[in-house]
Structure 1
Amino acid sequence: MSTVEVATFVDEAEARFWDAVNRAYEFTDGLSNLKTREEYRGDLFGCRYPKHGCKHENPDRHNPLAFLPWCHRWGINPMSVTKAELKRWVAELASSGQASGTQARRVSAVSSFYDSLFADEIIDVNPTHRLRAKEKPKRRTPGTAGRALNDAQALALLDAAETDSGPRRMPERSALLIALMLCAGMRVSEAINLKIEGYLAEGDQGAQITYVAKGGKTITKAVDPYVDEKIRAWLAVRPATSQLPALQAGARTAKRTLLSTEGGQPLTRQTAYRLVRRLGEAAGIPGTLSPHDLRRTYASISIQEGVSIRALQLDMGHAKSETTEGYDRSHHRPENAPTFTVGRRLARVREERERLGSAFEEWAEESVELAEASVAVAAELWEDLDDD
């Protein structure tokens, strides 16, 4: 993009701009889910850190296409942005080469911010609603991205995790992380933020875990014996760390995350991603394996085994059933294609007919032999009668 002259604010315009920034911080601070707060800060401010808490040494790390920095660069008041200005921002997002899903997420974050302003009667209309559907970036169609492992790959990954060895590697932790995502369907953020106190060895339905899911929803689910076994195995070797100190007198001590580093610190998303990629390579799985591929595998296997979409939707914490259906990758497998299904059915029918035909021929042969024997006996009887 060519270099352009950046507009300069007068004091009043500058004040209006920073009023919008402060309102945006109030909006993001009010979001209950930490991951959502970080994503919205990144889309609105270009930095995921909270207000006055930026730790970036280089300001260039801030995203210049985030909505508020973009408005500041062009001298636009976010409180009175026009449709034409919004279309310019969307066009710059598209020309930057960002994926359509990322563009759609950024527009959605801005739209949510304006929805909050409209609900508080600060603005009269959400300006993003003026954009026609064809002008908004499209989110990817559910079920078109990512993959699910087949049975052999899933078992190979579990084996690789259980035998994860080498300097500073903990097979119990690797096995538990994979089990939580592949066998319990948790998101990577949910798995690494699961608290020790969220595990109950003997709940109403046996072993169970309670955690905060995407959107701030609290989910309690029973876990099968395999996952329970991996939790117990990890707790037996987990680095012992003291409870974090209370922030103030009378406050409860912070809960510890179940998964941790060698030093007892919470496991980061980056560490989890690297671990999954490394285990995928060790298991001989082609391509780059991501944590969300394990969640898709969990959903695909559940659907193939007859779990209802509604039950799976509640289990996975989805707001819409369409999202759950989009996780099913079983139709991507050749053996599940209609042509293979029809072929298998015809093969079974042919085999059944051949089996029945063979049985009929054997019966017919036995019947003929029996008839021949009967005729021979009858002939002998007639001969005996003639002699008499």
Structure 2
Amino acid sequence: MSSPTTLLPFQPATMSTAQLAAVSFLARYSARTHQLYQFQLREWFAWCEGNGLDPLVGVQRAHVELYIRSLGERGLMDSSVVSMMNGVRGFFRFAHIDGLITADPAVYARLPKVQRDESRTQGLDRLELIRFLQVAQTITVHHGALAYLLGINALRASEAAGVRIEDYADTLRGHRVLHLIGKGNKPATMPVSVPVLRVLEACRGQRTEGPLILRPLSGQPIDRRDAYRMVTRIAKAAGIPRHISPHSLRHAAITNALDAGVPLRDAQILARHADPRTTEHYDRARGNLDRHAVHFLTAYVAGV
């Protein structure tokens, strides 16, 4: 039988129960998530092999606790330990659902507590976002289109890089709409406002199909790394003195929507967050100082 740490290449006839369970779990995911979980399971399988354990059958909660401790002893931060366990916990959860094990040994395993009260991304305020969008259009039409998709439609870098001309050709209930496949392969449809449409059309030019945003010099479609470089160039040209990434623009779109009075539920739809608590992180990051209770309390007792 092949080593338990071997997840690829797949040879079903000689695979152990643990390997088959891993293949079944990983089949649920694609692209970067698939690669991440595959790496996490390789680490778990290797640890089990080094300790004489089957990675699935006979594993107890104590074994999982020891593995979590070993991750910390390797110098990983608490947040990294929690992230490393995502794939392992999913692996056991679905093996239990599929009836391969009678109980899930990871479900009650103790993970380090990580405080996630607010987003730490450096976003842009309203005036900075306006300047960023204006300056982007003066560089190239491709920089302009990228800036608007990130800063108005709150797309992720990979989503903006993957937009095709055909993706925003439809009209739905009187609105021009953009179709995309988001994080976790989830389809999404969002309206394209007139200012955004103007910028996208300028970027499209006479083309009728294919990738929308191209590398200005080569004319090849951009990728995620190109998006980072283009955003950095725009930020420098706009005179923004701190590090700005594509996620900074997505962050700016969400926080400025909240500043504009958009209800939290609608901001969640804009961000396409599955959990409203994720959107609440942005809300707390936006208002934890200017809306802090001490201001109201000071005004209340000012006459004392």
Shared fold (TM-score, shorter chain, > 0.5): yes
CA distance in 1 between partners of 2:211 and 2:242 (Å): 30
SS in 1 for 2:282: coil
> 2:78–2:114: 8 Å Cα contact kept in structure 1?
yes
> 2:4–2:45: 8 Å Cα contact kept in structure 1?
no
1:29 corresponds to which residue? 27
Q: 1:100 to 1:75 in 2, by over 3 A?
A: same
> 1:205–1:222: 8 Å Cα contact kept in structure 2?
no
- Which amino acid is 1:229 matched to? R
SS in 2 for 1:130: coil
Q: 1:104 to 1:271 in 2, by over 3 A?
A: same
* 1:266 shift after superposition: 4.0
Match of 1:331 among 282, 287, 291: 287
1:284 matches 2:281: no
- Which amino acid is 1:258 matched to? L
Match of 1:310 among 262, 265, 270: 265
Deviations along 1:344-369, whole A, 9 cap, x unmatched?
99xxxxxxxxxxxxxxxxxxxxxxxx
- Which amino acid is 2:27 matched to? D
> 2:179–2:189: 8 Å Cα contact kept in structure 1?
yes
> 1:142–1:327: 8 Å Cα contact kept in structure 2?
no
* 1:79 shift after superposition: 0.9
Gaps of 5+ in 1: 1-10, 46-65, 165-170, 244-255, 346-388
The alignment covers a number of residue pairs equal to 291
CA distance in 1 between partners of 2:116 and 2:41 (Å): 25
CA distance in 1 between partners of 2:4 and 2:290 (Å): 62
Q: 1:232 to 1:144 in 2, by over 3 A?
A: closer
SS in 1 for 2:128: helix
Deviations along 1:322-346, whole A, 9 cap, x unmatched?
11111223215x555556678999x
Q: 1:123 to 1:283 in 2, by over 3 A?
A: same
Match of 2:103 among 97, 104, 125: 125
Match of 1:102 among 69, 80, 91: 80
* 1:315 shift after superposition: 2.7
1:371 corresponds to which residue? none
1:77 corresponds to which residue? 54
Larger radius of gyration: 1
CA distance in 2 between partners of 1:115 and 1:187 (Å): 29
Match of 1:209 among 159, 165, 178: 178
2:10 corresponds to which residue? none
> 2:4–2:55: 8 Å Cα contact kept in structure 1?
no
SS in 2 for 1:143: coil
Taking structure 1 as the reference length, the TM-score comes to 0.66
Identity %: 25
CA distance in 1 between partners of 2:232 and 2:70 (Å): 33
CA distance in 1 between partners of 2:127 and 2:162 (Å): 29
1:274 matches 2:229: yes
1:196 corresponds to which residue? 165
Q: More relative contact order in 1 or in 2 (CA 8 Å, sep 6+)?
A: 2
1:68 matches 2:24: no
1:93 corresponds to which residue? 71
1:233-252 equivalence runs, <5 A: 233-236=202-205
Q: 1:152 to 1:314 in 2, by over 3 A?
A: closer
Deviations along 1:294-321, whole A, 9 cap, x unmatched?
1121111111222111222223221121
Match of 2:213 among 259, 263, 268: 259
* 1:218 shift after superposition: 1.4
> 1:114–1:126: 8 Å Cα contact kept in structure 2?
yes
CA distance in 1 between partners of 2:119 and 2:32 (Å): 24
CA distance in 2 between partners of 1:275 and 1:344 (Å): 45
CA distance in 2 between partners of 1:337 and 1:23 (Å): 49
1:362 corresponds to which residue? none
* 1:202 shift after superposition: 3.9
Taking structure 2 as the reference length, the TM-score comes to 0.82
SS in 2 for 1:230: helix
> 1:299–1:312: 8 Å Cα contact kept in structure 2?
yes
* 1:87 shift after superposition: 2.2
SS in 2 for 1:77: coil
Q: 1:130 to 1:13 in 2, by over 3 A?
A: farther
- Which amino acid is 1:192 matched to? A
1:61 corresponds to which residue? none
1:175 matches 2:136: no
SS in 2 for 1:209: strand
* 1:78 shift after superposition: 0.7
2:254 corresponds to which residue? 299
Mean CA deviation greater in 304-313 or 85-94? 85-94
